């Protein structure tokens, strides 16, 4: 099983907005060209980022902009905006009906629940450590290094 690409697509989109936004209108078609996905996927993700308060989107003429200081947006904010964790808020879903008559089935929640919660907390802690400003700066360095080569 692989985690969806929504988070990396959203992060890519925000980097595009941060680096290209000052010099041009950022449309879903422009972002889709950079990300390499259908503009419909970009528009859905823009909607999620807007709902989370991370961006603004102009109606009619179009154009998306980041609405917060890059230092104030953590990768966790981006992740939470676009990844659906459902009502439980848990990264890992559990099969619903383990056999209570089976010694393993009757204990599987006791064995895994706390460990899975720890794993999710560790991932969220790591995502909190990195701001959008950090990844934008890293992208700028890579682009500048590539331009020199």
Q: Which of 132, 127, 147 is nearest to 54 (CA)?
A: 132
Residue-range domains of the chain with CATH: 6-148 (1.10.10.10)
User: Which of 13, 58, 48 lies closest to 32, judged by CA?
Assistant: 13
Q: Is 18 helix (H, G, I), strand (E, B) or coil?
A: helix
Give residue 86's pLDDT: 64
pLDDT of residue 77: 96
Residue whose C-alpha is closest to residue 70's, from 60, 55, 82: 55
Q: Checking DSSP bridges between strand 55-57 and strand 64-66, what pairing results, if any?
A: antiparallel
pLDDT tens for the 149 residues of the chain, in order: 456 799 999 999 999 999 999 899 999 999 999 999 999 999 999 999 999 999 999 877 778 999 999 999 999 999 999 987 766 677 777 777 899 999 999 999 899 989 999 999 999 999 999 999 999 999 999 999 888 76
């Amino acid at each position: 099983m692989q985690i969806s690409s929504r988070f990396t697509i959203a992060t890519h989109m925000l980097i595009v907005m941060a680096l290209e936004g000052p010099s041009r209108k950022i449309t879903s078609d422009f972002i889709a060209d950079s990300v390499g996905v259908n503009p419909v996927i970009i528009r859905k993700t823009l909607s999620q980022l807007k709902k989370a308060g991370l961006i603004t989107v102009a109606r009619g003429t179009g154009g998306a902009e980041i609405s917060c200081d890059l230092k104030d947006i953590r990768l966790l904010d981006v992740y939470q905006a676009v990844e659906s964790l459902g009502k439980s808020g848990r990264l890992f879903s559990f099969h619903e009906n383990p056999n209570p008559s089976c010694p393993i089935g009757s204990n599987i929640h006791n064995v895994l629940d706390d460990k899975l919660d720890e794993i999710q907390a560790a991932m969220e802690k790591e995502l909190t450590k990195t701001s959008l400003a950090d990844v934008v700066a890293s992208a700028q360095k890579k682009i500048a290094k590539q331009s020199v080569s």
